[in-house]
A and B are shown apart, each in its own frame.
Chain A
């Protein structure tokens, strides 16, 4: 059985409802909170919230050290991202290539509350599809090279079927960069029109040509990324991002109606359904009754919903032994398969997975 009464979950829930006073930050609670938060990549966020709520001093010394250290890393991460975004902007703006910053870096540049203690490994940007070859060439000239030696098959895989070029890595600074032309693989069942994102994107002042997605699109992108890609290592972190983005953006009924309208226009109602369902189950994110009724039309059906609950409730728990039950491993694996299924039609998927296993088992490429 899944037990939501875990220090990390109860702590994040209590922040939403101003009930953080209820905890006794003793050794047992603090230690487990830290262990779960570290594995969920939420340690710096927990530290940030504890400081913001002036609860930090209540923790035992060793606990404070670990939390403070996670914050130190998050700050270093932020410094590095800021340098990289400026560098990327400098390179692309010279050629008049507009850029949308995505995900974690965007939360920082748009000063979103989801940037609180957000740690991430790579910078994600989007450029227009017509600009992507030029962008890749400019990056290569300035030290951004493919992060590993992708063989012909992977090159083709990325360029034909994916929404991004093979990931880049700066040869000296070691920072990683993902360059996208849309938010989800073109082969996937969801097909939002990339032009829509550009129309609504928000300019960053003093940086002409540098943008972030609109607040509503940020929510939809985060939801699509979480529920239609297979990686759940940061699942709860993404739920917490969604929780913060929703609380910050949705001030009144009109905002909520706008969110649903936008999801309909982009064809992203299903991921939005999942996002609202699981943020409210996990973190008790307040969603108006009327909106729940509306979005429920986009549920995968009674059976589908039960199955997804069974998988998601496990996969989105912190990836820590204290939160696992017998089925956690299986649930994560099934969701990984599901993400491939959603990403590609079967006639592309089967050969791809066979080839991947062949390469893993033999260490050889087929080319």
Chain B
């Protein structure tokens, strides 16, 4: 499939060109609504981008960059003993350095940080968002709730990925805007998805991160190409993975959904009343559930059923 607007994508550039851009002016990638310029001389960052971002379009010369980000090895003697990597957003270092081998993962975390702190044109919900036949499902959830696993399985099953970490709700039209990026899977979920879909493409495996073992699932090209197509929230579902449990979908009240969702929103207090109004509008127009599951096949069937 060719990209709209006649944009060149990362994968169409010669490998040497990608490398050159990463170390000089920055590789300018369109990631959902965000224009990102990435600088790094680290080889694993180059690998990360090449494996997971090849379908992503490039930003043109005459467009504003939202986030100038850089990943570089720390410049001390530690380079030789226990090498580390620093993330910076236009010269500002929001985090302490991490082990160098986690550079690719740090790019994803750093970008999450940029989006959460500098994109208040959206209400930003900590949630996976996925769409099928025009129904967008929001899966808010704390780590370990199984939202990413469910989201990855649905994405491998033909659903369109809007986001794995952050649901962007526009303050203007209350629609969900996609920011399709690699889905971050942790520990057992990696194997679960590898078994679930033979076509799943993964990036590097990061061992011993703060969140355990971590690997990123490459989003489908279609999801990346449809980055400008928003969707209306139709269901808000709080997933809960519970070992050996039955698949159980239970409606919950709008009031409780609103409170739980506000708790899972990055910029709720920054937006004040606008944040409250937006959240109310979204919750009012969606069906709300709690969803307990352990069997992924049954879980997907249940979600498919909700779309009919």
Contact = CB atoms under 8 A, between A and B. Distances in A.
Interface of A: 27, 30-31, 35, 38-39, 60, 62-63, 65-66, 68-69, 72-73, 75-76, 79, 319-321
A73 B120 contact: yes
Interface of B: 35, 62-66, 68, 90-92, 118-121, 269-272
A79 B64 contact: no
B90 A320 contact: yes
A38 B64 CA distance: 15
Contact of A65 (B62, B68, B121, B270): B121
A72 B64 contact: no
Given A27-B64, A72-B270, A75-B272, A38 B90 contact: yes
Given A27-B62, A30-B64, A73 B270 contact: yes
Given A27-B63, A68-B121, A69-B120, A76 B90 contact: no
A63 B64 contact: yes
A62 B119 CA distance: 11
A144 to B, nearest CB: 19
B90 A39 contact: yes
Given A62-B35, A69-B119, A72-B271, A35 B62 contact: no
B273 to A, nearest CB: 10
A30 B118 CA distance: 16
Given A73-B270, A76-B269, A319-B91, A35 B68 contact: yes
A73 B269 CA distance: 10
20 contacts: A27-B62, A27-B63, A31-B64, A62-B35, A62-B63, A62-B66, A63-B64, A65-B119, A65-B121, A69-B121, A72-B120, A72-B270, A72-B271, A75-B272, A76-B269, A79-B272, A320-B90, A320-B91, A321-B90, A321-B91
Contacts of B272: 75-76, 79
A73 B270 CA distance: 6
Given A62-B35, A66-B118, A79-B272, A39 B64 contact: no
B96 to A, nearest CB: 13
B271 A66 contact: no
A72 B118 CA distance: 10
Contacts of B68: 35
A39 B88 CA distance: 12
A62 B271 CA distance: 19
Nearest to B70: A321
Nearest to A30: B64
A62 B121 CA distance: 11
Nearest to B269: A76
Contacts of A60: 64
Contacts of A321: 90-91
A69 B35 CA distance: 16
B57 to A, nearest CB: 16
Given A76-B269, A79-B272, 14 more contacts: A30-B64, A35-B90, A38-B90, A62-B35, A62-B63, A62-B64, A65-B121, A68-B121, A69-B118, A69-B120, A72-B120, A73-B120, A73-B270, A320-B90
Contacts of A68: 120-121
A30 B66 CA distance: 12
